[in-house]
Amino acid sequence: MNSLCFAFADAVNINFEPLAIEDFYDRHAFANGHRWDLVIEMLIRALTLCKLAGRSEIDISYCEKAFAQKTRVPFGFSPFSVDDYEEALSPAEILRLMTQR
């Protein structure tokens, strides 16, 4: 996932280094039901939000915003912002939120 995140960030000239830690990757995978298609989709959405904001370095808030947009869950309640995210949000619930239309 590290290589994937850096490759997409490099393509749009965003520094991904601030998020390049195991905790982020665990949360990102969990937030997307451990599905690669959703992981990539949310990564692109977060990078797009960061780029549109005129930033050259990403931070966790863009992932939180991307999650809120995709799932319609209120900003601030996501695997990126909740300490006990594995207990607060079940994998089945995350997958349901991510795939509902």
Q: What residue has token string 């997409």?
A: 8
The model's pTM is: 0.88
Predicted local confidence at residue 71, as pLDDT: 86
Mean pLDDT of 50-70: 97
Banded model confidence at residue 24, pLDDT cuts 50, 70, 90: very high
Helices 36-52 and 22-31: crossing angle in degrees, nearest 10, is 110
Predicted local confidence at residue 101, as pLDDT: 60
Whether the per-residue pLDDT at 92 is higher than 90: the answer is no
Banded model confidence at residue 95, pLDDT cuts 50, 70, 90: confident
CB 15 within 8 A of CB 56: yes
**With 0-12 CB in 10 A as exposed, 13-18 as middle and 19+ as buried, what is 56?**
exposed
The whole-chain average pLDDT of the chain stands at 92
